[in-house]
Amino acid sequence: MSVTEHGAATDSRLPVASPAEVRRAFARLLAADKGRAVQVLVLYTLAAAFSVSVPILLGRVVDGIGAGWDLPRINLVCGLIVACVAVQFVLSRLGRRAGYRFGERAAARLREGVVGRVLGLPLDRVEQAGRGDLGTRTAADVNVVADLLRDNGPTVATALIEVMVLYVALTVVHPLLGLCALVTLPPVLLAARRYLRRAGGAFLAQRAAMSEAAETLSASGAGARTVAALALQQKRREVGYERGETMYRRFMRVLKLQIEFFLLLLWLNRLQLVLVVAAAGFWYYEGGLSLGTAVAGITVAVRIANPTNTVMVQLNEFQQGSAALARIEGVNLVEPSPREAVPDGTDLRLDSVTFGYGDGPDVLHGLSLRPVPGERLVVVGPSGAGKSTIARLLAGIDRPRTGTATLGGVPVCDIGVEELRKHVVLVTQEHYVFTATLRDNLILALPFYSSQARPEAGDDRLMEALRRVDAGWALAEGLDAMLGDEHRKLTTAEAQQIALARVVIADPDIVILDEATAGIDPASAGRVEAALGAALAGRTVIAIAHQLQAASSADRIAVVEAGRIAEAGTHEELLAAEGIYAGLWHAWRGE
């Protein structure tokens, strides 16, 4: 469900947590490592105390010189000043180290938690959320919160403690000077409160706009061939410009709020310093305080501005972090989809299925499809006929509007994902290769399959799977070869071969191939499909195909047109019928 400028949610993007839920999430992160959090606060408080003692001791030196102190006494106090600076330096470094460790641990827990929650989302909600929304929540948003916990949080804690200690110290130096400094504190707090109330929604809207822009770019890139085929370049360009303009407007709104707030803060800081200097000068000349006290008070007042500005400037990062955490915690608001059914057998079928995406029109209209166990069924048809939708229904990603999609007599969408993947695997054009060895990339899915498929996949078994999908490059480089952008960056065809090899190793009952060899060159695609067919002999294979070389060797072909099964039969039967399939075949052959 997408997020509006004020944080409301529409029906396609994931939800966003409320401010109260965000506060509870921050509290959980602190409570998970409260010992180290207390350690950080104690170290920073001690560091601030030693730091603020420097101007007080300096004032004593000034007064002492005026009172006729001898040189040893002056040196002693100056030595104390140097010692305070040294101790403050050590304590602040220890505090920063402890704060960094706390932040890293909290960030690690956050990353693990969000990945676990996303992996536990219902499959249809994952698909509806889209790459942009999920990608920004699990990557950009997590990074923002991690930076807040690791860097900005300790920085603000340090500055806030220092501000409080400085105000107390100024009051101790002279109560009237402390009162003068406190005059500007209520306006600062009111300005900060007003800024937070206005900026919260602005930051949330900005991150939502970033998500929408990322989704648009991702969708346009992934569907580039479809965009080109349907001449939609101008429309997608307009959508991209619209998303970019929205993101720019929301960024400018945030920037305007920041400029207004920081200018006001600057003037209030200057006013505070003017009040303290004027009061100290007046009372000094009136004999109400000593020169050393005036110097100490003014020095403390000068130092108040820096940590105060740090706290207020970091409100920006806290707003960004809160907005990011609201989107991360929003994943928890998705109602879990109970999937506890267990299939009785491997009979996979669609019966009178009607389906459409979101509130859109029906894509499938009363469609029935009943693959025979052990057969190779190829589903063909023109673009937009509903072929990939059939694959999604059979794989349990989407639930039909009407009719049933069942495996072993129970609805596919009611079967637990781990149980379902023992029986049915969907292989699409999109494949992910992890930054790991080739061996790790091949066996990573094994825990999701039955115990018969799980024993340590020996290297011989892995190499055999690579041979069956014609991955000669992998055989040459070996199972210890590192894959990933930083090591061996794979082509689309090579990544598809890894995905197909995983299927061979997993050995499920039913394999659904949705254009699984589309990225492989036509000369090799037929060979790979033939090898894969041999490797999956005895398994039910349902292949969604645009290129018809896979259809001629199929046990049965189902032709989809306008969301319905228009024809079904063998290659020879459908050619003899001279119907839709025959037209597609002759067109593909250039006849």
* pLDDT of amino acid 536: 73
> CA 72, CA 10: separation in Å to the nearest integer?
75
Question: In angstroms, rounded to a whole number, what is the distance separating the alpha carbons of residues 160 and 155?
Answer: 9
Cα torsion through 344, 348, 352, 353, rounded to 10: 110
Helix (H, G, I), strand (E, B) or coil at 453: coil
List, as one string, the DSSP characters of 502-560. Answer: HHHHH--SEEEEESTTTTS-HHHHHHHHHHHHHHTTTSEEEEE-SSGGGTTT-SEEEEE
DSSP H/E element including 379 = strand 376-380
Q: Which of 302, 274, 263 is nearest to 183 (CA)?
A: 274
pTM value is 0.60
Instruction: Give the closest residue to 435 by CA, choosing from 393, 482, 475.
Output: 482
Question: Which SS3 state, helix, strand or coil, does residue 365 take?
Answer: strand
Structure tokens at 361: 């029109």
Which strands, in side-by-side order, build the sheet including 402-407?
362-369, 348-356, 402-407, 410-411
| Assigned token pair, 376 | 């190779």
Distances (CA, A) of 463 to 20, 433, 457, 496, 502: 53, 17, 10, 16, 11
Alpha-carbon span 419 to 366, nearest angstrom: 28
Q: Cα–Cα distance between 348 and 395 in angstroms, integer?
A: 10
pLDDT in tens, the chain (591 residues): 333 333 333 445 678 888 888 888 888 888 888 888 888 888 888 887 887 777 777 777 776 776 677 788 888 888 888 888 898 889 888 888 888 888 888 888 888 887 777 777 766 666 666 666 676 777 778 888 888 877 777 777 778 888 888 888 888 888 888 888 888 888 888 888 888 777 767 777 777 777 777 777 766 766 666 666 667 777 778 888 888 888 888 888 888 887 888 888 888 888 888 888 888 888 888 777 788 888 878 888 888 877 887 777 777 777 778 888 888 888 777 777 777 788 888 889 999 999 987 777 888 988 999 988 888 898 988 777 888 888 889 988 888 999 999 998 899 888 887 788 888 888 877 777 888 888 888 887 665 444 444 444 478 888 888 888 878 888 888 888 888 877 888 887 788 888 888 888 888 888 888 876 665 555 556 556 666 666 677 788 888 877 677 677 788 989 888 888 888 888 888 888 888 888 888 877 766
Q: Which burial class, exposed, middle or buried, applies to 426 when counting CB atoms under 10 A from its CB (0-12, 13-18, 19+)?
A: buried
| CATH number for domain 19-333, candidates 3.60.110.10, 1.20.1560.10, 1.10.260.40, 3.40.50.720 | 1.20.1560.10
* Domain 348-588 top-level CATH class: alpha beta
Secondary structure (3-state) at 348: strand
List phi, psi (to 5°) of 288.
-80, -15
Counting every residue, how long is the chain?
591
Give dist(CA 480, CA 488) in Å, integer.
12
> For residue 304, what are its two tokens?
């108040």
Q: What is the pLDDT of residue 5?
A: 33
CA distance 388 to 130: 16
User: 416: closest CA among 478, 337, 354, 313?
Assistant: 337
Sequence ranges of the chain with CATH classification 3.40.50.300: 348-588
For residue 32, what are its two tokens? 């998970």
Amino acid type, 252: M
For 512-523, the DSSP string reads EEESTTTTS-HH
Task: Give the pLDDT score at 517.
Answer: 63
How many of the other CB atoms lie within 10 Å of CB of 446?
Answer: 17
N-term to C-term CA, the chain: 47
Domain with CATH 1.20.1560.10 in the chain: 19-333
Edge-to-edge strands, sheet with 540-544: 424-427, 510-514, 540-544, 376-380, 556-561, 564-569
